[in-house]
Amino acid sequence: MAVSRSADVPAEVDVVVVGAGFSGLYLLYRLRELGLRAVAFDEAGDVGGTWYWNRYPGARCDVPTTDYAYSFDPELERDWTWSEKYATQPEILAYLRHVADRYDLRRDIRFGTRITAAAWDEPARRWRLRTADGDELSCRYYVMASGCLSLPKAPDIEGAGRYRGEVYLTGRWPHEGVDFGGKRVAVVGTGSSGIQSIPLIASQAASLTVFQRTPNFSIPARNGPPSPERLAALATDRAGYREAARWSRGGVPSELTDVSGLTAPEEVRRQRFEDAWRSGELFGILGVFSDQAVNLASNDLVAEMIREKIRGVVGDADVADALCPKDYPFGTKRPCLDTSYFETFNLPHVRLVDLRGTPIASVTEAGIDTTTESFEFDAIVFATGFDAMTGPLVSVDVTGADGVTLERKWEHGPVTYLGLMTTGFPNFFMVTGPQSPSVLSNMVVSIEQHVDWIADCLRRMRAENLDRIEPTALAEAGWVRHNQDCADITLYPRANSWYMGANVPGKPRVFLPYVGGVDAYRRACDEVTEKGFLGFRLDGPAGPRCNDGVIRRVQPDVAMVLDLMASLGLPPMETMSATDARAFMEVIDAGRPPGPEVGEIIDAALPGPAGYLAYRLYRPPSRGPHPLIAYFHGGGWVLGSQDSDDPFCRDLCVRTGSVVVSVNYRHAPEDRFPAAVDDAFAAVCWIAANATELGGIPGQLTVAGWSAGGNLAAIICQRARDAGGPDISSQLLLHPVTDCDLGRPSYSSNGEGFVLTAALMRWFWDHYADGPDRADPTASPLRGTLAGLPPAVVVTAEFDPLRDEGDAYAEALAAAGVPVRHIRARGHVHTSLVMVDVVISGAPVRAEIAGALAGLRQAPARR
């Protein structure tokens, strides 16, 4: 078939790039450096990307210009001086034009040309592309550098096409500008674009009516000259500053705080907030407290202080109230920087229409009708946002190797490996794609990182005689899960935001960007490369190769704990005496969050075989009686006490609605095996006998424990069965020690680097029991008879040396006919679940445990 082609569209190139904004320009520069033949296409009439289209009044960047600029060429940096802390759209566009000129990039860009379709040709190992003009061309590699917020959302308001007056879309603003002088103007939408444009439109218009569906958090930008501190830091050590940005959380060098909103004194909270408020920087106000992105109470402190500021500015109390965001946590919808936004509502010709109270019924020929009022306007500005992140990618009809389109593959949400590639679409790259930090970061830093990664990948492939790359299904599924894990520990999924796809009717609700941070993300990408392109399948003249695997398997907050512990260089506990190890644990425990409030806590003692045993009782806030849980702490039979698992016991009490009685027992090496078992059995007998007095429901007794406490709980259930009582209704074994064989695979795979080490377990066993005793079922319950035991909830953690013996116990119980709920805590370590309010990803597992216990309670009686 003959193929028509415009003279300036080549038939074949190495790489096609879609987009000529920050991403496309830098990519062209790097590809040319590699000697690859590349051509870029952009629908726009010139370079600039988002800064080409978004010319509405007040359009500015909201990352400081000291940071919102390329860093790949120090000469370029020296060449350009920004006039303001936050540059206007014309200045940023001028910068990008300067970049295009400086590196002579325009000769490889086809403007006014949209790529409409792309299909992978497997036999030829090339992409075949088509433009809107019908031109066709092919390339080895196809890169979408099309931006995250480049496709304006289609108007989803009844009657939107009916209006006869002037209509403007902030994301497609006329180049000649708009004169609003003397006009009655409406702005629909109060996101960043609305908030930036409203004060300027108000300054021209005869009247301005703002239609607000959701109020937004915004702080004053305090624009002016670039920050002298940042300029000085750049002047002193430009390379160091840029490197710090690359390894920062958000792509701008900033200090991370460890001040928690929950525990900081009021004056510290206020001071930190006011400092951030004065800074006029988004990353400042997003980082007032270490826990504001993950803890609602901490978040609400910041949110309330911002609401106070809004009320302090807006004269009319009702208008102020309507402008205060209240139904989503601060930061979970993109916050804004403004110049006199809230002040604008004090002007007599500006009116706010709160669509929550009176929604838009329809756009009419003359204006807008709400459910209670008809408005007439000369102009309507839609600042209604974008089909973010996935929209621009699926707007091209991309067909992969197996004939499936990208849109179809992503019908339930984007699925990518590192936000860079997607399985089934070989040699197809995305710059700042979904599931990369992109919109949660300084875009320029993230763009440079992606472009560098892609360029480096192509360079290596060429050097190794490879010409096809595609992620594996395993690697991709792992990355998607990791993204979800990261989002799940934050408050982000609680908002109906464009981050969640919630602004576009019918779009799947999944969290789109990677929230783990620029630094963590860069580390993951670098590791993938260092491990021989882990998770990628490569092919070419050199032959196929694949190092398959998942780059991040540990829960993100657990990984942070592990990193922190590694950085502290703590002495291994097995090098200490038992006394020193106990003192060490007490110091560590003193600094942890307290756990949830319970109804009542009582400290008392119960009679044991060799003296009184201290216990701590936790009572739920609800009216009793409650089910009872006899609980035994962890600590390898050497460490701990009745209150050493305090936060976990509180959590267990609240989640299960049970009275939890945490009983201490004698410890080794002072009292070796079987002293702990004897104490634990006596304690359970006493608790069962005193159930009513303790506020328990007789006959509803769970015996529970973590680690060595789980070992005791399992053994006590066996002993109670053999002794004919007490009656135990269920057992909860959390990462239990069930056997003295330290040769199981999890002892090697998880024996180091996951808090509980194989060496420490050896140390515990050595303190607790002699060789022959260890094999006794009262030390190694896996070796006992398991038939006739109470129904069990057994919890094992993926990265625990004790995982395999826990799994074995769950399997053996089931094989013996005992009802078992086996919960496998994916991505967790031995201590994850007891680190309440530190390892946030442990909370859903604890909820599952509580649900499983409730399920066992509802199950028909065992006999």
Chain residues binding ligand NAP by CB under 6 A are 60-62, 149, 156-157, 170, 188-194, 196, 213-214, 334, 355, 360, 383-386, 439, 498, 503
60 touches 197 (CB < 8 A): no
Instruction: Give 328 or 428: the residue with its C-beta nearer to ligand NAP.
Output: 328
Taking phi first (over 0 means left), then psi (-120 to 50 degrees means alpha), and beta for anything else, what does residue 147 get? Answer: left
Exposure letters 27-57 (e unless 16+ CB within 10 A, then b) = bbbbbbeeebebbbbbbbebbbbbbbbbbbb
> Which residues make Cβ contacts (< 8 Å) with residue 359, sequence separation at least 6?
213, 370, 371
CB of 513 to ligand NAP, least distance (A): 10
CB of 443: closest distance to ligand NAP in angstroms? 9
User: Which residue's CB is nearer to ligand NAP, number 159 or number 819?
Assistant: 159
The answer to whether the CB of 714 falls within 8 A of the CB of 809 is: yes
For residue 154, the minimal CB distance to ligand NAP (Å) is 10
Residue closer to ligand NAP (CB basis): 390 or 730: 390
Give the position of tokens 């942070």: 560
Nearer to ligand NAP, 13 or 44 (CB): 44
* Residue with Cβ nearer ligand NAP (512 or 676): 512
Cβ distance to ligand NAP smaller for residue 161 or 771: 161
Smallest separation, CB 404 to ligand NAP (Å): 29
Buried b / exposed e across 706-717, counting CB within 10 Å, b at 16+?
Answer: bbbbbbbbbbbb
For residues 326 and 199, give the distance between their C-alpha atoms in angstroms, rounded to a whole number.
23
Q: Which residue is nearest to ligand NAP (CB)?
A: 191
> Which residues on adjacent β-strands are paired with residue 554?
none
C-alpha–C-alpha distance, residues 269 and 47, integer Å? 44
| Residue 361: CA count within 13 A, CB half-sphere | 10
State in angstroms the smallest separation of the CB of 363 from ligand NAP.
10
Distance CA 557, CA 10 (A): 49
Helix (H, G, I), strand (E, B) or coil at 103: coil
Cα 860 from chain centre? 41
Q: How far is the CB of 351 from ligand NAP (least distance, A)?
A: 16
Whichever of 190 and 254 has its CB closer to ligand NAP, that residue is 190
Q: To the nearest whole angstrom, how small is the minimum distance from the Cβ of residue 162 to ligand NAP?
A: 15
Taking the complex as a whole, how short is the minimal distance between the CB of residue 54 and ligand NAP, in angstroms?
Answer: 6
CA distance 482 to 474: 12
Q: Which is nearer to ligand NAP, 501 or 647 (CB)?
A: 501
Give, in degrees to the nearest 5, the angle at Cα 420 between 418 and 421.
100
Pair of tokens at residue 588 = 């560590």
- Alpha-carbon distance values, 757 to 553, 750, 799 (Å): 18, 7, 10
CB atoms < 10 A from the CB of 862, how many?
A: 15
Q: How far is the CB of 383 from ligand NAP (least distance, A)?
A: 5
Indicate the SS3 state at residue 171: helix
Q: Which helix (H) or strand (E) holds 453?
A: helix 443-463
Nearer Cβ to ligand NAP, position 25 or 360? 360
CB closer to ligand NAP out of 61 and 659:
61
Question: Shortest gap between Cβ of 295 and ligand NAP (angstroms)?
Answer: 23
Provide the minimum distance between the beta carbon of 320 and ligand NAP in the complex, in angstroms, as a whole number. Answer: 18
Q: Which is nearer to ligand NAP, 360 or 675 (CB)?
A: 360
Which residue type occupies 472? T
The least CB distance from residue 206 to ligand NAP, in Å, is 23
Place of tokens 């259930």: 717
The distance of closest approach from Cβ of residue 492 to ligand NAP in the complex, given in angstroms and rounded to an integer, is 13
For residue 287, what are its two tokens? 């980082």
Three-state SS for 187-234 is EECCCHHHHHHHHHHHHHCCEEEEEECCCCCEEECCCCCCCHHHHHHH
Instruction: Choose between 324 and 630: whose C-beta lies nearer to ligand NAP.
Output: 324
Closest CB 336 distance from ligand NAP, rounded Å: 7
659-663 and 611-619 beta bridge pairing: antiparallel
Contact 704, 632 (CB under 8 A): yes
Residue 256 DSSP label: P
Q: C-alpha angle 184/188/191, rounded to 5°?
A: 130
Nearer to ligand NAP by Cβ, of 189 and 493: the residue is: 189
């008879």: which residue's tokens?
Answer: 785
- Closer to ligand NAP at the Cβ: 162 or 531? 162
The residue among 214 and 346 lying less far from ligand NAP, judged by its C-beta, is: 214
| CB neighbour list of residue 771: distance below 8 Å, 6 or more residues apart | none
**Closest separation between CB of residue 199 and ligand NAP, Å?**
13
Which residue, 71 or 384, has its beta carbon nearer to ligand NAP? 384
Instruction: Please identify, using beta-carbon distances, which residue of 54 and 113 lies nearer to ligand NAP.
Output: 54
- Cα separation, 737 vs 289, in Å, equals 38
Rounded CA-CA distance 157/385 in Å is 13
CB neighbours of residue 579 within 10 Å: 9
**Residue nearer to ligand NAP on the CB measure, 282 or 835:** 282
DSSP 3-state of 851: helix
CA angle 583, 586, 587 (to 5 degrees): 90
Give the separation between CA 719 and CA 600, rounded to whole angstroms. Answer: 31
Q: Which residue has the tokens 């600029």?
A: 69
How far apart are alpha carbons 521 and 483 in whole angstroms?
Answer: 11
Q: Rounded to the nearest whole angstrom, what is the least distance from the CB of residue 332 to ligand NAP in the complex? A: 11
**Shortest Å distance, C-beta 338 to ligand NAP:** 10
| Minimum CB–partner distance for residue 61 and ligand NAP (Å) | 5
Rounded CA gap, 722 and 387, in Å?
Answer: 65
Tally the C-alpha atoms within 13 A of residue 649's C-alpha that lie toward its C-beta.
Answer: 31
